[in-house]
Amino acid sequence: MKQTEPKEGLLYYLGMEIHLKQNGIMVTQQKHTNKVLNRYGFNEAYPVKTPIEPGMLTEKHTNDEPLKNKHYREVIGSLLYLSTISRPDISFTINYLSRQVNNQKISHWKMIERVLRYLKGTTNFGIHFGNEAKLRAYADSNYSGTEPDMISTSGILVYYSGPIVWMAQKQSVVSISSAEAEYRSAASCKQEVCWIRRIMQELGITIKEPTKLFIDNKAAIHMLENADEGKITKAKKHIEIQCGSHG
């Protein structure tokens, strides 16, 4: 029986544009992005190449007054929809800005303006799902965070033919070392992988090989390897106590 090639086309679903291509599927939100840009007067803005500038989170802004007469919550809601559906590249920035809804400052609005200018030049960006059927996971963290509480942020990405889960999420407690922050991020990523594997099994997708988890901290890798062997190292004993588990 002759196998027919998939037809190319375009589908619309819940604000997403699903492009059917010969080499896979592309998910974008161009219409929603343009709608947001028009609503806030950035349809003719000069585009920039990154959603955030170096130092935006760490510099102390002098005379940073409370924000007035701006639709902060409204624009954050629109950008959150983008960041969770098709734009993981703005996920970290929008996660940080969403924490400031009760403490809006002029510097935060300037960050929103930069995100909108970035979106102006990348309206056609999205997620491509190809033919590579391998489940991989990546975890990272920014040790000590950027706020007065010094809590780190976990970065997680799970990939199967394309990004299927991603998040930039504030950790629940203060980590006392970069290794601990990385360990917590990896542990959260591991939970996501276990959930995805169960869902895929229910859908009839069998993955026999273990899922590779990529992190870039040797001390955290050492702690994770010991955890797989049922050991608790001195360096992470307090983490296990806080988590209420021993393995």
Residues 168-197: b if buried by 16+ CB within 10 A, e if exposed: beebeeebeebbbbbbbbbbbbbebbeebb
Across 70-220, where does the E strand assignment appear?
126-129, 135-142, 153-160, 163-170, 212-214
Contact by Cβ (8 Å): 108, 72: yes
Across 86-198, where does the E strand assignment appear?
126-129, 135-142, 153-160, 163-170
* CA dihedral (66, 70, 71, 72) positive or negative: negative
Cα–Cα distance for residue pair 183/215, rounded to 1 Å: 9
Per-residue pLDDT of the chain (247 residues; tens, 9 = 90+): 444 444 578 888 888 999 998 888 999 999 999 999 999 999 999 999 999 987 777 656 556 788 887 889 999 999 999 999 999 999 999 999 998 888 888 889 999 999 999 999 999 999 999 887 889 999 998 877 666 677 888 999 999 999 999 998 888 888 888 888 888 899 899 999 999 999 999 999 888 899 999 998 888 888 877 765 544 454 555 455 445 443 3
Residue 3 lies in a domain: no
Cα–Cα distance for residue pair 105/155, rounded to 1 Å: 25
Residue 54 lies in a domain: yes
Strand order in the sheet with 212-214: 163-170, 153-160, 135-142, 212-214
Print the domain residue range for 189.
132-243
Question: Do 146 and 239 share a domain, yes or no?
Answer: yes
SS3 78: helix
Cα–Cα distance for residue pair 84/247, rounded to 1 Å: 31
Residue 87 lies in a domain: yes
Cα–Cα distance for residue pair 231/246, rounded to 1 Å: 8
Tell me how crowded residue 97 is: count the other CB atoms within 10 A of its CB.
22
What does each C-alpha distance from 244 to 187, 239, 240 come to in angstroms? 13, 8, 6
Residue 1 lies in a domain: no
Facing residues of 129 across strands? 25
Query: How many domains, the chain?
Result: 2
Domain boundary among 90, 110, 126: 126
Question: Do 171 and 79 share a domain, yes or no?
Answer: no
